[in-house]
Amino acid sequence: MEFKYINKLFINGKWVPPVKGDTIKIPVVNPSTEEEICKITGATAEDVDIAVDAARKAFDKTGVGAWSTLKGAERAPYLRAISKKLVEKKEVLARLESLNCGKPYREALWDLDDVAGCFAYYADMAEKLDTKQNKAVKLPDDRFKTVIQYMPVGVVGAIIPWNYPLLMAAWKLAPALAAGCTIVLKPSEVTPLTAYELTAIIEEAGVPAGVFNLVQGYGADVGSPLSKHQGIDKVAFTGSVATGRTVMSAATEGIKRVSLELGGKSPIVVFEDADIVEATEWIMFGAFWTNGQICSATSRALIHEKIYDKVIERLVVEAAKITVGDPFIEADPSIGPVVNAAQYKKILGFIESGKQEGAKLAFGGKANTQKGYFIQPTIFTDVKENMNIWRNEIFGPVLSVCKFSTEEEAIRLANGTDYGLGAAVLSKDQARCERLVKAFRAGIVWVNCSQPAFVQAPWGGVKLSGFGRELGKWGLENYLDVKQVTSYLVQDSGKWGWYIKSPL
């Protein structure tokens, strides 16, 4: 495949070289082969300045056709055009994500359905936004009328991770565009390739110059200056807790709005009345989907002592059926390589830590002896709550399992983490499930399943998993400010304002 734009940035509607030329070259690697796919040209703070300025001017523009003052129904066709082109290029984009990320091709295809669906959904939401404008608020004083208007927050700096390059971009770009914001996007330097293709699609869709800008590069060169830039009104970030702290700290300099979707160490609690076959399927899916590289992965399995041994036995049997190999093989189930050498070494370090701390390695744990960053699906049993593999996010195909005896113990173990993104409970007892739902300290709870995500429902966490919500109406509200407009309806020029009796 020809990589047409890897030496360019997209700023103010044009593909342009970085200010410092091609002095920063970033290798992009195929994790299946460890071979270099290409080198992209990285940007610097100077390019961020130019991109933010373009986004600022596009947002502040007035008059006919100005993006921020268009009606939602006028912005919606742009989003639908993007969605349509994503569908048309689905196979190419999915292959590119698998090549760059290592996720199985079939999973990348499903991701693309969600990406296109996200833009289509927020096209609808943009139209619905018009119907919410100027709704009256009931007041105790009929001399006044108050209506509510919704306005875009302004210029958005969007920083996305490497595990879902297109999907995480869509979760930010689609609602931001629907709201009337302008955007500067920084993709991960590890997996930047589909960001170029998405940018070309946005250009084809005719989105006005400056509304969308792409500035790729290292975090220190692009992410940091973008987060602290005085021309940015909101930073939307998905990634690690460590980087999230840096982003939030930088953003405080300008008192700008921030939303953070960070890591997780989500529990899946399996009670004794759960169906063992179904429970095993959901545990496997929650731990090993996308090679285990999901922030919401239910990588801590809490299994009731009465069925513990049976579940472990079946988990091992099913894990042995997973093919570890090239993302484009047709084997099902299968997992591909983890994303890069750094992640590979980190995961192997966690596996070694689990062994050293006394957890029982029930399956997997082996590194690849050939080319590629392949790691077997790995299952640790008899894991204690003070162990490294239980407490910290691994972001790889590693499942930690422990047993519990009472509902109270299960709740304590499930909540005994600094994270709070997702949690799952499997049980046929509806009342018990409802108790667990209330007790979980998490932003997302799954009952008798794990990991489904729908664009209509809110996504986000608590504690170190961040704050703010993406998707659904909440995702749109992330990019809107509320304006109160109050009018005095009585024509009474004989009194000054402060003589009017206060309605409060």
At 233, is the secondary structure helix, strand, or coil? coil
Cβ-contact 267, 252 below 8 angstroms: no
CA distance 452 to 280: 16
Buried b (16+ CB within 10 A) or exposed e, 444-477: bbbebebbebebeebbbbebbbbbbbbbbbebbb
Q: Which residue type sits at 44?
A: T
State how far the Cα of 312 lies from the Cα of 14, in Å rounded to an integer.
56
236 close to 159: Cβ distance less than 8 angstroms: yes
Is 387 strand, coil or helix? Answer: coil
**Paired tokens of 50:** 């130019």
Sign of CA dihedral 215, 217, 223, 224: negative
Beta-sheet pairing, 267-270 with 300-304: parallel
Q: Distance between CA 477 and CA 434 in Å, rounded?
A: 28
> How far is Cα 60 from Cα 74, in angstroms, rounded to an integer?
18
List the strands of the sheet with 480-488, edge to edge.
Answer: 135-137, 144-152, 480-488
The DSSP call for residue 490 is -
CA distance 479 to 152: 6
CA distance 397 to 293: 7
Cβ within 8 Å of residue 496, ≥6 positions away: none
Question: What is the number of other CB atoms lying within 10 angstroms of the CB of residue 396?
Answer: 26
Count of Cβ atoms closer than 10 Å to residue 502 Cβ? 6
Q: How distant is the alpha carbon of residue 349 from its chain centre? A: 25
Nearest CA among 205, 271, 258, 240 for reference residue 13: 205
370, 275 in Cβ contact below 8 A? no
Determine the Cα–Cα distance for residues 207 and 58; give it in Å rounded to an integer.
11
Q: Distance (Å, rounded) from C-alpha 138 to C-alpha 28?
A: 57
Tell which residue, 344, 349, 352, 285, has the closest CA to residue 102.
344
The residues carrying an active-site annotation are: 261, 295
| DSSP assignment letter at 42 | P
